[in-house]
Amino acid sequence: MLLARPNHGVTSIFSAIAIFNRQKSRAKALRTRARLNETRLVTGKRPVQSRLSPFKPYVYSSLFLASRQLYAEAKDYMYMYNHFGISLDSFIITDPRSTIHYPSGWDLSRITKLVLELQLRDAQRMNRYVDWERLFSWFPELRMLRIVPTFHPRYYEWAQDELKSWDGVSFVWKAFFKSLLHEVPRNVKLKVGAAGVDLQDLAWGGKGVVSTAVLHQIVGYVGGQQEVVVDFGEY
């Protein structure tokens, strides 16, 4: 399909990190080629042509240029039928651009399906209030949300050790997850964990994932007070 990524049994995602990595990789290859050609010209050799593989777009956004009507219809379709992946590595939530990194062309207010990676640090560095209500206010059209807790690479050794088992876990983690799950809007279908997600497609910013057993315990802890349906299956 021209405006939706193919899905072969897993959730296929427009991942902000994957897009940025792809752009950086291509830019690096172009710079390397340019330096090589400068050297060749100095020595009297002909510059070589770029052998970069053809750039295949995620979607064919050139359709947006056909007409105003097609632009509106195509954009509605793109935001309705695609999942968007965003990684959160800082929990000081101020405004969208300073808190999360995403391509400039994305309109957060139109995203309906979101995969949100949370790069967790150790309890000492997570012991602060997080304004989840503000975060979710940036996604007024959100209808499906998958939260995928991973570990921030810099704090992996400490954080993953603290979340190996929910038994005796710090109150900081209990307060963190409770406030998060309670602030998910009631009309949003919520999933927790990486089940049904192509991990390579998402291009994790974090290191490893929180185990499914611990995630079940987290959801069980929030349990009766949570008014949003929470499970670990496919969308």
Position with higher pLDDT, 212 vs 137:
137
Q: What is the pLDDT of residue 204?
A: 73
Query: What six digits make up the tokens of 1?
Result: 């399909």
What is the C-alpha separation between 102 and 86, in angstroms, rounded? 7
What is the C-alpha separation between 2 and 40, in angstroms, rounded? 40
3-class SS of residue 156: helix
Q: What is the pLDDT of residue 226?
A: 45
What is the C-alpha separation between 182 and 67, in angstroms, rounded? 43
Q: What is the pLDDT of residue 80?
A: 84
The total number of residues written for the chain in this structure: 235
Average model confidence (pLDDT) across the chain: 77
Position with higher pLDDT, 32 vs 1:
32
Position with higher pLDDT, 224 vs 70:
70
Position with higher pLDDT, 35 vs 161:
161
Q: Tell me the mean pLDDT in the region 115-124.
A: 91
Alpha carbons within 13 A on the beta-carbon side of 159: 24
Query: What six digits make up the tokens of 207?
Result: 């290191």
The torsion defined by the Cα of 224, 175, 173 and 130, in degrees rounded to 10, comes to 120
Q: What is the pLDDT of residue 1?
A: 46
Give tens-digit pLDDT for 86-107: 888 888 888 888 888 888 888 9
Q: Tell me the mean pLDDT in the region 127-153.
A: 91
54: confidence class by pLDDT, cuts 50, 70, 90: low
User: Global pTM?
Assistant: 0.75
CA 181 remoteness from chain centre: 18
φ and ψ of 206, to 5 deg: -90, 180
Q: Tell me the mean pLDDT in the region 122-131.
A: 88
Radius of gyration of the chain measured on its C-alpha atoms? 21
Q: Which range has the top average pLDDT, 10-14, 94-98, 138-142, 179-183?
A: 138-142
Give tens-digit pLDDT for 108-118: 999 999 999 99
230: confidence class by pLDDT, cuts 50, 70, 90: low
φ and ψ of 64, to 5 deg: -65, -20
